[in-house]
Structures are given as C-alpha cells and as structure tokens.
Chains A and B, each alone.
Chain A
Amino acid sequence: MNRPNDNTLERWLEGELEGEELLEVDAWAESHAGDLDEEFKCEIGWSALDDDFLASLPDTEEPPYPDFFNSKIQQAISEGVVQEDVGGESGSSLWRNLRLVILPAAVAAMVAFYAGTKMQGVDEGVDEGVDDAVASVENSVYVPHSGIVADVSESVDATEIVLSGLAPISDNLDIAAGETSPGDSPMMANTQAEITPLTIF
C-alpha cells in the first residue's frame, strides 16, 4: 500500500476510519512505523489536537509561585511578629514574677537541704562524747494551747522545763488517792487502738 494521504491519516489518528480502509491504514502504519514517527507525527500532532482543548488553554500565564511565596512570607512575618509580641510580653512578665518566687525558694531549699544533711550528721554522730550544748539544741518544746509558756534550761545534771499558764488542779481532787477529773483517758484510747493483735482466721 502506498502512503495514505494526509486526510486519511488524520482521520485514522482520530479513529474515524472503519472497515477495509482502517485495515489498510493499520497495515501500512505497522510496516512504516518509523516513517510515521519521523515524517508525520509532529506535523500531524498539533493539528490533530482538539480545537476545544487548545482553545481552553490560555495564551500565556505567569507562574503563581512568586505571589504564593510572597503571600506566605508576609503571613509568616506577620504571625511571627504577633507571636513574638504576645509571647514576649506574657513570658517575660510571667518569668519576671515567677523568678521573684522561684529563685528565693530554690535558694532556701538548698540551704535547708544542706542544713538537714548537717543536722542528720549530728544525729548520727551522737555518742557518749556528745556534750550538753548539742543535747540542748536537740531539745524542742511545743505547747499546743495558747497562754502556756515553756521555759527550758539545761545544766550538766538535768534539764528543766517550767510550764507556766497551766490550769491548776483543783485542791479538792485528791490525785494522791487516785482521783481523776471527769473525761476520757487518752491512754486507754491510744493503747486500745494501737496494740491490736494481728489475727488471721
């Protein structure tokens, strides 16, 4: 078969051929594939495209990237400035306020920890050689009721605690004879509660 004319080839490319005519062009195209690519393909290509498709394409269009990137940069700059302002003001003032509390507390905690380790060392080191001065430091008196004062004094032989402000015991109450003022004894309450044997079954 000789080379089909351009009109036939154009219709073949667009799939408009049928029957015997299609078979003939297919056979020719198969035996002349190189010719088809080199001689006809490019020439036919653009003209074979759909006119509607070509018409839908714009003639020229600037790539969107500059505007896109510029807008993103502007947005990032604006957001960054806002965040920096917000974070800077609240963070700095908050830190400034916390710093006034945290730093002294941290220093106090360190001092207390150091003092605690030293005091623990004194306790662990208590031995026969401990003098009365250390013992007096160890003594601490707590009076839960207001109006009662404890006066503590130390000597080599004895420790004295003088409690003042206590309610006197009624002279009518003969404690030497075993009398007790009305009320529940703390001794009974505590001992019963604490010394409870462990029973299983």
Chain B
Amino acid sequence: MKQAFQLLPVFFLSVISSVNLLSAQAEGVKDSGTDSVGELKVSLIFGTDLDGDKAGKDLKEPSKAQLDALRKLKKIKFAHYRLLGEDQQPILRSYENWANPMKGSKELLLCFQPRGKPMGDQLKMDLEFWQSHKKIMKSGDTLKKGKLLFIQGPAWRGGKIIIAVELISLTQSGAGGAAK
C-alpha cells in the first residue's frame, strides 16, 4: 500500500506528459478541409435599359472582359451595366464558402462548395444564391476557367441584379495555394 502511494507522483507525471504530448500533436494537425482548391470571383452587376446611375452615381462599369461576355449573352441583355461590387474568395476543399460581393450589404450572397477534385480546368460545385436571407436557388454547375456563369436575379431600381461567377484558378492537387 505504501509503495502504491509512492508511485502516485510518477503516475501523475506520466498523465501530464501524455496530455501535453496529445495537445502538441492536436495543434500540429492541420485541417486539410481548409486547403484551397482554387479561387472564385463573384461580381454583382446592375443591368438596366434605363439610367445606369440609378444604382449609384459613383459606380463604375464592369471590366472589359466582363462587358464583352455580357454583350455576348443571348437572354440577359441590357443597355447599361454597373458594377455594384465583387468578391474573390479561395475555394476551401471541405467547407461552405461565402462570397459577399457588396462588403457592407448581405442582401445578396453566394454560397459555394466544391464537389470533388478539380478535373483539368473544371470544377464541379454546389452554388447557392441567397436573397434577403433566403435561399433562392441551388445549382450543381461544372465551372470552367474562362467560362462565366451569369445569374439574373431580382429587379431593382428599374433594372436587374446580375451575379457573375468566374473560376479564376484551380490547383490540380487540391492542396496548397492556388496555381493561377
């Protein structure tokens, strides 16, 4: 019995050492789900056949590449376009990602999550369009670099809100930084 009490300090020291070791290992383990498999750019564009300045006087037009793509669309056609905001986010492998093109407003959001590994220059993704805190649409699109996805959303100030989704880059390994 006396020997058992003498061994108690040794036992506690062993327990404390094990706990420290486990904690160190837990801190060292990196969550692979946070690895980026690429980058996605989401732009919010106001399209109207009336006055584009109704969205705001200081707003600029979208980039030339975006305007060229917009001009080629068959169903979404407007005379004037204004860029309301844009957000470029890494695509985390195993987490829901949120793009908030208008930093101050959360009225229009896009949630995206990859479905599998990138294949070449394509990535299959789940996309959710949220308006006024409600999920409006969900799509399982295969996004391809150089091919934009345009979603024509709700009406606003005599025009329509357009969400432009562009796959900027992909990493083939699905780990590490995005290779552009």
Partner of B72, one of A143, A157, A161, A186: A157
Q: Give the interface segment out of A56-64, A96-104, A105-113, A188-196.
A: A188-196
Q: Does B63 contact A (CB under 8 A)?
A: no
C-beta contact mask, A142-159 vs B, less than 8 Å → 1, else 0?
111100101101011111
Which residue of chain A has its CB nearest to the CB of B84? A176
Which residue of chain A has its CB nearest to the CB of B134? A145
Q: A135–B144 contact, CB under 8 A? A: yes
Q: B133–A181 contact, CB under 8 A? A: yes
Q: Does A67 contact B (CB under 8 A)?
A: no
Residues of chain B within 8 A of A142, CB atoms compared: 137-139
Partner of B96, one of A153, A183, A185, A190: A190
Nearest CB of chain A from residue B128's CB, rounded to whole Å: 9
Q: Does A55 contact B (CB under 8 A)?
A: no
Residues of chain A within 8 A of B147, CB atoms compared: 156-159
C-beta contact mask, A166-201 vs B, less than 8 Å → 1, else 0?
111101011111111101111100110011001011
Q: B135–A144 contact, CB under 8 A? A: yes
Partner of A138, one of B55, B106, B108, B142: B142
Interface residue tally for chain A (C-beta within 8 Å)? 53
Q: B105–A180 contact, CB under 8 A? A: yes
Q: A185–B72 contact, CB under 8 A? A: no
Q: Give the interface segment out of B4-12, B35-43, B151-159.
A: B151-159
In this complex, the interface size class of chain B, counting residues with CB under 8 Å from chain A, is 35 or more
Residues of chain B within 8 A of A151, CB atoms compared: 75
Residues of chain A within 8 A of B85, CB atoms compared: 176
Partner of A163, one of B19, B107, B146, B151: B151
- A127 and B170 CA atoms in complex are apart in Å by 13
Q: Does A6 contact B (CB under 8 A)?
A: no
Q: Assuming the A-B contacts A126-B120, A167-B132, are A160 and B139 also in contact, with contact meaning beta carbons closer than 8 angstroms in the complex?
A: no
Q: A158–B69 contact, CB under 8 A? A: yes
Q: A166–B136 contact, CB under 8 A? A: yes
Residues of chain A within 8 A of B153, CB atoms compared: 163, 166
Q: Does A1 contact B (CB under 8 A)?
A: no
Partner of A157, one of B56, B69, B105, B116: B69
Which residue of chain B has its CB nearest to the CB of A155? B74
Nearest CB of chain B from residue A182's CB, rounded to whole Å: 9
The list of the 9 closest CB pairs from A to B, nearest first, reads A178-B104, A183-B133, A168-B155, A176-B56, A128-B120, A166-B154, A126-B119, A169-B156, A138-B142
**Interface residues of A, Cβ cutoff 8 Å to B:** 123, 126-128, 130, 135, 138-145, 148, 150-151, 153, 155-163, 166-169, 171, 173-181, 183-187, 190-191, 194-195, 198, 200-201
**Interface residues of B, Cβ cutoff 8 Å to A:** 19, 22-23, 26, 31, 46, 55-56, 59, 69, 72-76, 84-85, 95-96, 98, 100, 102-109, 111, 116, 119-122, 124, 129-142, 144, 146-157, 161
24 contacts between A and B (CB under 8 A): A127-B119, A130-B120, A135-B144, A139-B141, A139-B142, A140-B139, A141-B138, A144-B135, A144-B138, A155-B72, A159-B141, A159-B150, A161-B149, A166-B136, A167-B131, A168-B154, A168-B156, A169-B155, A175-B107, A179-B105, A185-B109, A191-B96, A195-B95, A201-B19
